[in-house]
Amino acid sequence: MRKEKQSGLNSIKSQNSLYHKYSFYLPMIVILFVGSSEQVKAQHDSIRLSLQEIIDLAQSKSISFLKAKTSKENSYWQWRNFKSDYNPQLSLKGTLPEITSSYQETTQPDGSILYQPVFNSNTSLGMSLSQAISSTGGTVFLRSDVKRYDDLQRKSNLYLTVPFQIGIVQPLFKYNTLKWNRKIEPLKYTESLKVYFEDIETIGFVSANLFFEVLIAQTGYEIASVNFENNKIILKIAEERNLLGKNSRNDVLQLKLAQINARKELSNAKVQSETAQLNLKKYVGFTDDVSFSLLIPSFIPNIKVDSKIALQNAWENRSAAVSFERKTLEADAKIAEAKGQNGFSANMEASLGYNSKAIQFNNSYENLKDQKYVALSLNIPILDWGRSKSRMETALANKRLVQYTVEQDQVNFEQEVIIQVSQFRLNFEQLDYTKEADSFASERYKIALERYTMGNFSITELIIAMNEKDKARADYIMALKQYWTSFYKLRLLTLYDFAKNQKIEY
């Protein structure tokens, strides 16, 4: 019995001799498989950054942010300039002095002409306060003037003063720029603010895209590094097994070819990783000497997005919704302008005040006389060879074109939001599937490594398991990219944060 037991033990040891011979490789393979990713990162990275950290940096430091900020400031000062047109304007004007020395044509009492020498000086100073009337397009003004005339040849002078004058300038039947600007410019400013929010969200969307481009390249480099190291150990095992006659020369050659391909893939992956990092650095605003790696997003919020809420927020928050109204108003303004240029028009001016003249300045405000002025100028087109009709028809055709364009843009506007909501839902579902597949493929590859080491798995089956593992990992990273980029695209299209259920403002 003891001999039989010993014989059985010897048989078991003989059957498992291959396992005992190569079992010391197993911990190395497992360590490589599990730990190489972290080792590669530790060797090559100095800064670990998450998706949100990259987006925050881009939205505060990048050139794109500075351009968006400057554009917003430009719009603000345009808005201030527009508002100033409706505020009182105080101005001081003067000529200090105007000197004339020449011969001038002078008509004599008998109708003859003489050229007389003139040597004089005119000096004037005036202050005016004006206020535009946006409802009518006219201007009301207050004015005070003083003028001095010096005859330098005869050594005499004369003062003319206007202590007080009030008046109005009122165009009749003309295009009222102030009235239409009061309707259009507030929309432009509101639109510019929403465009600024969209610019910031666009930076977030682009940053997320670049983030995952780097992450895909980074993951590819890590996979290539692990495969390269694993292939070296597996090749060594295959060569020793070939010496023992446990596998064919073909298996060794196949592994050598796989090792060469792994080296090529590692080199390509390194270049792709460096290129992707350079693109991200350039966009975010990093200097070239900054080295970093990206953290794979581990938390995936389960966000419920309702199409009606998305559409409602898109209409309330997007600049496009404001631009539809602005474009329609601008088309109406063009029609009003064409009418103002084509028909009967008039301009009325009237003023009332006091003035006086004197040789001495101290006496120039005495003996004030009434000063009145009224003028009505007319413009009646009689023959313009169809110019007026052409202007009006052009404006009407432009209005129809704007209407059709806005209607089509509104349809596209809603369709884009609805499609993005559906895409976001689909990407969330796909993310669960790819994550599960990544886990299964990783576990299967570990088992395949162990079974190949024990001689229970062919090299072809091992390579298939490795390829499936790599593809599942790449698919999972790509699914993460599609999920997060669709999330930030949805934020951009609605200016609404569905994770926090609040409107996006900066």
How far is residue 190's CA from residue 495's CA, in Å, rounded to a whole number?
A: 14
Distance between CA 97 and CA 119 in Å, rounded?
13
d(C-alpha 158, C-alpha 343), whole Å: 46
What backbone torsions phi and psi does residue 293 show, to the nearest 5 degrees? -130, 160
Angle at 391 between CA 386 and CA 394, to 5 degrees: 120
Alpha helices in 113-248 (DSSP H): 177-243
Give the per-residue pLDDT at 37.
Answer: 44
Q: What is the gyration radius of the CA atoms in the chain, in angstroms?
A: 42
Split the chain (506 residues) into runs of 10 and give each run's mean pLDDT.
41 40 45 44 64 94 95 96 94 90 87 88 94 93 94 88 94 92 96 96 96 92 83 74 65 76 84 90 84 86 92 96 96 92 87 89 85 90 84 94 96 96 94 92 88 75 86 93 96 95 92
The DSSP secondary-structure symbol of 347 reads: E
Beta-carbon contacts of residue 471 (< 8 Å; ≥ 6 apart): 441
Q: What would the DSSP string read from start to end of 360-387?
A: SGGGTTSS-EEEEEEEEEEE-----TTH
Interhelix angle 177-243/459-494, nearest 10 degrees? 170
So what's the pLDDT on residue 48? 87
d(CA 187, CA 189): 5
Phi-psi region of 4 (alpha: psi -120 to 50; beta: other; left: phi over 0): alpha
Two tokens at 472?
């599942």
Fold topology of 17-76+183-327+403-503:
Outer membrane efflux proteins (OEP) (1.20.1600)
Name the burial class of residue 155, with classes exposed (0-12), middle (13-18) and buried (19+) by CB atoms within 10 angstroms of its CB.
Answer: exposed
CA dist., res. 237 & res. 457, Å (int): 13
Let me know if 132 is exposed, middle or buried by CB neighbors in 10 A (0-12, 13-18, 19+).
middle
CA distances from 316 to 187, 420, 421 (A): 13, 17, 17
Location of structure tokens 């925050």: 56
**Contact (CB, 8 A) for 160 and 181:** no
In terms of Cβ atoms closer than 10 Å to its own Cβ (0-12, 13-18, 19+), residue 39 is: middle
What is the total residue count of the chain? 506
d(CA 236, CA 396): 82
pTM of the model: 0.79
* CA 290 – CA 199 distance, rounded (Å): 26
CA distance between the termini of the chain: 86
Token reading at 292: 């970093």
For 265, the enclosing helix (H) or strand (E) is helix 249-284
Residue 315 neighbours by CB distance under 10 Å: 17
Find the angle CA(39)-CA(40)-CA(46) to the nearest 5 degrees: 95
> What residue spans of 349-504 are helical by DSSP H?
387-453, 459-494
